[in-house]
């Protein structure tokens, strides 16, 4: 099927969300909110100036302490996206 930019003005197809994502909409919506909250919380952890003042010193390997905080946040993010891809992001 050709998908070039045809001259017609009205859409031939307007796709809705895939079936898997429309099944049990309330339940899915709740789970969607849960995962949104998880990722917003992770992003909030990256705004560390709001809740902590880091000491001006070096620690392990000569890196500053706050750098380890960010290693931790990113590992949490990787774990979250992995779980998200298993539990919520469906085929």
* Tokens matching residue 89: 């992001």
How many CB atoms sit inside 10 A of residue 47's CB?
Answer: 8
Site for another protein in 47-66 (CB under 8 A): 47-50, 54, 56, 58, 60-64, 66
| Between 26 and 61, CB nearer to another protein | 61
Compute CA distances 62 → 5, 59, 65, 67, 68, whole Å: 57, 5, 9, 10, 11
Which spans of this chain sit near another protein (rule: CB under 8 A)?
A: 1, 3-18, 39, 43, 46-50, 54, 56, 58, 60-64, 66-67, 70-71, 73-75, 77-78, 81-82, 84-85, 89, 91
């Amino acid at each position: 099927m050709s998908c070039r930019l045809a001259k017609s003005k009205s859409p031939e197809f307007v796709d809705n969300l895939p079936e898997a994502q429309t099944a049990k909409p309330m339940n899915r919506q709740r789970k969607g909110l849960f995962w949104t909250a998880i990722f917003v919380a992770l992003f909030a952890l990256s705004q560390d100036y709001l809740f902590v003042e880091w000491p001006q010193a070096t620690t392990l390997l000569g890196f500053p302490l706050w750098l380890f905080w960010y290693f931790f946040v990113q590992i949490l993010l990787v774990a979250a996206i992995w779980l998200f891809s298993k539990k919520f992001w469906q085929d």
